[in-house]
Structure 1
Amino acid sequence: MTGWTLGIIGGSGLYDLQGLDGPETVTDTPWGKPSAPVRTGKLAGVPVCFIPRHGPGHVLSPDAINYRANIDALKRAGATDILSLSACGSLREHMAPGDFVVVDQYVDRTKGRASSFFGPGCVAHVPMADPVCSRLSSMVADAGEAAGARVHQGGTYLAMEGPQFSTRAESRLYREWGCDVIGMTNMPEARLAREAELPYASVAMVTDYDSWRAGGEDVDVPSILKVMQANAAKARKLVESLAEAMAASPRTPSPDGIESILDIAIVTPPAARDTVLMGKLDAVARRVLGA
């Protein structure tokens, strides 16, 4: 055993993975139902658990996804690390449709989404300055190149609320802010993975140029779907390559200290913690709370 259990969140166009022939598990959580039951199996001998973010058949819009349930379900299924795969628009000319961007920063413009497992009864503030795992992101970038993708290692992801696409003014503003790609689903997902002490890496698969280009085509679903099919095939190869790399490299704790991040995040002393919330945190924070 290498110690890895790879949790995968499949985005638009990636609703299943071949080779996952283990039982479905975790159909419900204290935070509600995940997007789908967690599918399990092994790739290259590495345990894998998979959730399609938008549900089977893409029935959930970005604002309807239960992000807390998805992260909790993957933790309960034994995930040690999470790979997020999602479609995105590009805000940079050199990040072309078909390219993969391994995200390393976020600007969160979502609103109204439950963004924390903690709250009244147990307050926690996890560090998010560097929101992804540097080791896992590096491994993912290598796996993307091995899969034949053109990979950009590093990029800032603007998380918008959606489900509508950006106005032209918004798209151009986000470029001025220094953002590189735009999508609707990586937040609060990345925040929740950090609270669950799960190293997280994101591959944003470019499908379009959003709305900023002068004289360019506006983003629409038919054009996105054309690129998405090819991206999904490369994403499946990336997952296979990543599993092979994990099989060849025994797991050690993340160099970023993610698996022990709650040691410096929880503010509420034990005597003041709400017992109901503690019960809901039995998977997410079991290491530090002793649940």
Structure 2
Amino acid sequence: MAKAIVGVIGGSGVYDLPGLTNLREEEVSTPWGEPSDALRFGRIGKTEAVFLARHGRGHRFSPSTINYRANIDALKRAGVTDVIALSACGSFHRELYPGVFVLVNQFEDRTYLRQATFFGTGCVAHVSMAHPVAPLLRRRLVAAADAEGVPYKDGGRYLCMEGPQFSTFAESIGYQSHGVDVIGMTGATEAKLAREAEISYATIAMVTDYDCWHEEHEAVDVAAVVKVMADNAEKAARVVARTLREFPAEHEPCPAGSDRALEHAIITHPEARDPELVKKLDAVAGRVLRRG
């Protein structure tokens, strides 16, 4: 079994991870380009952790311009086995008020401008996304939120929109009637790439607003979101720290198969594979590609 190394991806309002000891930074280059920021390595308790600011420090990248492939590849190269992703989200339910966390278990992807796969012409792969969130990792986050007294919903559907604009009223009402719980701009893309990289992935969706459907609240804007983000960041740091302090020393095999997703996923015959693409896939898919 592999040693557990937990990656933490900080979203809007979360640009560092309090509590990391033995902190060091490293610039990691990937065949897919540069990640959003330097990786920050350290420990919380006995667990090794790697932090990455999704939007870069200072929030330089929009959801549509983040190099998601470079981010996930860099974490894979760092030995990360599990990723906890923090994501600011809008809510479609009154009971999911600003400040509540949703430990989502499903994604619906409405994005259209970004690269959401490492594979393509010359090396085709189809991984299962039926259960995009690693169940054991999510249960650990639920237990940590419970222990820390952070209000949360256990399970939920996250709609991933392209952005960077917030929803129109018509869109917001439509999404709500469709049965989703929260809306964000990053989660589904990361979940797909993490699955292809055989990394167990889970999201803490941190509610900052009611999107724009709620008749008793004004339409969402950045000023309103920022007011909630600071409190959410503090609670997220507590949940992540407790999760890492109680994390097993070895990576737990994932019941959803996230850590062996490529086992039978690559369909391109070895003699037909593009050598240049295969070379780029060394970190992400080397485990299976080296077998031929």
Same fold (TM over 0.5): yes
Q: Which sits farther off after the overlay, 14-23 or 138-147?
A: 14-23
* Gaps in structure 2 of 5+ consecutive residues: none
Partners of 1:111 and 1:185 lie apart in 2 by 12
RMSD: 1.5
Deviation per residue, 1:187-235 (Å, 9 max, x gap): 3111000000011000000000001112421111111111110000001
- Contact 1:20 1:39 (8 Å CA) reproduced: no
- Contact 2:81 2:251 (8 Å CA) reproduced: no
Residues 116-265 of structure 1 mapped to structure 2, 5 A cutoff: 116-247=117-248, 250-265=250-265
Q: Which sits farther off after the overlay, 138-147 or 179-188?
A: 138-147
Q: What is the number of residues matched between the two proteins?
A: 290
Partners of 2:260 and 2:62 lie apart in 1 by 33
Partners of 2:290 and 2:23 lie apart in 1 by 29
Partners of 2:54 and 2:23 lie apart in 1 by 19
- Contact 1:10 1:85 (8 Å CA) reproduced: yes
Report the equivalent of 1:8: 8
The answer to whether the aligner puts 1:109 opposite 2:107 as a matched pair is no
Partners of 1:118 and 1:2 lie apart in 2 by 25
Q: Which sits farther off after the overlay, 24-33 or 50-59?
A: 24-33
Partners of 2:22 and 2:92 lie apart in 1 by 38
The one-letter amino acid of 1:269's match is: H
Partners of 1:15 and 1:162 lie apart in 2 by 20
Q: TM-score, normalised by structure 1?
A: 0.96
C-alpha deviation, 1:27, in angstroms: 2.5
Distance 1:251 1:27, change over 3 A: closer
3-state SS in 2 of match to 1:113 = coil
Partners of 2:171 and 2:66 lie apart in 1 by 24
The one-letter amino acid of 1:50's match is: F
The one-letter amino acid of 1:234's match is: K
Distance 1:23 1:285, change over 3 A: same
C-alpha deviation, 1:155, in angstroms: 0.6
Partners of 2:220 and 2:165 lie apart in 1 by 11
Report the equivalent of 2:77: 76
Report the equivalent of 2:272: 272
3-state SS in 2 of match to 1:84 = strand
Partners of 2:101 and 2:21 lie apart in 1 by 24
C-alpha deviation, 1:133, in angstroms: 0.4
- Contact 1:11 1:54 (8 Å CA) reproduced: yes
Identity among equivalent positions (%) equals 52
Report the equivalent of 1:28: 29
Partners of 1:54 and 1:265 lie apart in 2 by 30
Deviation per residue, 1:210-264 (Å, 9 max, x gap): 01112421111111111110000001111110011204x6433112222211112
C-alpha deviation, 1:276, in angstroms: 0.3
3-state SS in 1 of match to 2:282 = coil
C-alpha deviation, 1:145, in angstroms: 2.0
Partners of 1:250 and 1:51 lie apart in 2 by 22
